[in-house]
Structure 1
């Protein structure tokens, strides 16, 4: 894959600003409309369990009080084996990227590893940073090679598991990017989708690592629990780094209902439920991959490990339009740096939905 202006290869110098930027502000919700089956947004759709709905609803009688994040911070810290001052609550994971961009204005060489969620780069650019990109290759399954990240990059951002590729990088590979003088931001918004029943923790997560210099882990509670409208996430890192981010955060940024949700989602009931959900997700994902692989011209990228899969399909833009006409919304891939018009992202749903979707997709491809 040849580089373009603004894309970094190992050993390359600082590039000029990229031309012909993809739309970094485009997200899956823009694909969804009334009457369409939503395979574009990676948020699980299910009723809230009573242990989560109850605490949220209970806060609605006490909204005159300003939010106090102490209980949620302590609960999340306990979940990850860290002290409370290593947790910062945010209004969704996306707010964390804005705080980073605002607080770390002194970084000299910020690098974003793509393809990945576009908000980290968008937030950096909005704050005036000159962002460089490292593009992972489809030919290599979009796997990370730490040597491709410039050694003097003092801010590095990567997703794990990565949106939109659904690649889960080994923890040791991501940890190899950490070094003194660098802030390493790992977006683990979908880490709970990789939980394994019967095993503690999440494979390849760095959320409990306190020994890596400059590590900042971004977490979200909106995906698995269907809380995108509530906006709740958190950051894990060294107290001195989090203090810099907190200094630019608006007062009372996280609402009382969101804090109640965070506290509930940090408990043992939630952790065990996540593992069961992740196990079902893995089975549903395998079913989706098998059905897609049976269709002519469709190639599933890499080894999907999260709540979505990335597919390569020649003429994907026309196929996406035809799917909309038939009542289905999928996520276009060309707004992710490193991808192009022949990529689509598809959310994992239940088997009945997958069977209906792939049947329609097959009919479109045959036509």
Structure 2
């Protein structure tokens, strides 16, 4: 009998937590805001995501980057750059993919469905992916799989190594490039561990669709087989290689993001918001009525993130440099 059919008062079916993919709540749903509040995309500042508003500059792309199948040598070079940038353990394998979300959707298929521990609130695609593969959510230990978003979205929680000991452990470090000293990448050398990295957040190129799975070679090979050939486009291979080799840009960007996160905190605090978590790419505030804050900002064509499980949580990303005055006025 599958785990999803087991009755246990300490466990809840993942299907009860996640319904259809089109129903899941995410930031970046600017089209819905435009439909309700008007304007065009050019009129809006989207603070509903945690994407760096100052993206990495795109390299010059040739016609062949678009017309030829992605090159094996380019993929090998990208993997080498990823190893160096994230200081990947020698015994761990690295798999580039078309975004971390694509990997999240595949990972539950690496093992027979049983129980997975996913503490909430967190990024809801993990629970949805496990539900789609027949897993059930465990409300208590032990569980055959464990998911930890590190730092967590939306509260910025950092996990400790002793908390992550399931046979299949997924450590989602999509936002960890702002705090590399907190990375748990050394655990990628442990059997059963997969660490996820996102290219869209820190480098601000979410539309590029590039992510990485790093970990146990046997599991990474299974993921590669599930993913199939030519998963990462030629433009993504070239851009990712250049960005991961640019340590100076990364260091400067971390300083700038930290400065702007502090500036955002000061603006929000002056309007009565209380900081309760986040990272240097997004901040989570507690306000008197989050929906009212979102509505007020939306009338100024600034989109923010609120959550169906909280009436007081408001998440704001960082505005572009020419958007600070607009945000201050709207707040």
TM-based fold match above 0.5: yes
Residue in 1 that maps onto 2:328: 358
Alignment length (residue pairs): 311
Provide structure 2 residue ranges, at least 5 long, that are not aligned to the other structure.
35-40
Match of 2:155 among 152, 165, 172: 165
Residue 43 of structure 1 and its aligned partner are, at CA, apart by 1.5
CA shift for structure 1 position 62:
6.1
Structure 1 CA distance for aligned equivalents of residues 45 and 288 of structure 2:
23
Aligned partner of 2:314 in structure 1 is 344
SS at match of 2:298: helix
Which residue matches 2:38? none
- 1:319 paired to 2:285: no
Q: Aligned in 2, Cα 1:254/1:125: closer, same or farther, shift over 3 Å?
A: same
2:202 is matched with 224
Indicate which of 25, 44, 53 corresponds to 2:52. Answer: 44
Check if 1:263 corresponds to 2:218. no
Mapped contact 1:178–1:214 kept (Cα < 8 A)? no
Are the equivalent residues in 1 in contact too, given 2:11–2:136 (CA < 8 A)? no
In structure 2, the partner of 1:9 is none
* C-alpha distance 250-341 of structure 1, shift in aligned 2 (>3 A): farther
C-alpha distance in structure 1 between counterparts of 2:15 and 2:68, whole Å = 48
Is 1:87 the counterpart of 2:87? The answer is: no
SS at the partner of 2:206?
coil
| Conserved? CA contact 1:189–1:223, under 8 Å | yes
Aligned to 1:143: none
- In the TM superposition, residue 70 of structure 1 has moved relative to its aligned partner by 2.0
Match of 1:176 among 126, 143, 162: 162
Q: RMSD of the alignment, in Å?
A: 2.7
**Mapped contact 1:24–1:122 kept (Cα < 8 A):** no
Alpha-carbon offset, residue 30 of structure 1: 0.7
- Taking the aligned partners of 1:248 and 1:47, their CA distance within structure 2 comes to 31
- Judge conservation of contact 1:114–1:158 (CA < 8 Å) in 2: no
The TM-score normalised by the length of structure 1 is 0.76
Asked if the contact 2:92–2:189 (Cα under 8 Å) also holds between the matched residues in 1, the reply is: no
Q: Tell me, in whole angstroms, the C-alpha distance in 2 between the residues paired with 1:75 and 1:16.
A: 40
Contact residue 285 and residue 308 of structure 1 kept, 8 A: yes
User: What's the offset of the Cα at 1:315?
Assistant: 2.3
Is 1:214 matched with 2:189? Answer: no
- For 1:59 and 1:239, the matched residues in 2 are separated by 34
> Given that residues 320 and 329 in structure 1 are in contact (C-alpha distance below 8 angstroms), is that contact kept between their aligned partners in structure 2?
yes
Describe the shift of the 1:351–1:256 C-alpha distance in structure 2 as closer, same or farther (beyond 3 A).
closer
SS at match of 1:309: strand
Partner of 2:28: 29
Name the structure 1 match of 2:79: 73
Partner SS for 2:29: helix
Q: Are the aligned partners of 1:93 and 1:232 in contact in 2 as well (CA < 8 Å)?
A: yes
| Aligned counterpart, 1:13 | 10
Match of 1:305 among 279, 282, 285: 279
Q: Report if aligned partners of 1:155, 1:184 keep a CA contact under 8 Å in 2.
A: yes
TM-aligned CA distance change 1:352 to 1:288, over 3 Å: farther
Q: CA deviation at 1:340?
A: 1.4
The reply to whether residue 332 of structure 1 matches residue 306 of structure 2 is yes
For residues 195 and 66 of structure 2, what CA distance do their matches in structure 1 show? 31
Deviation at 1:205, TM superposition (A): 0.2
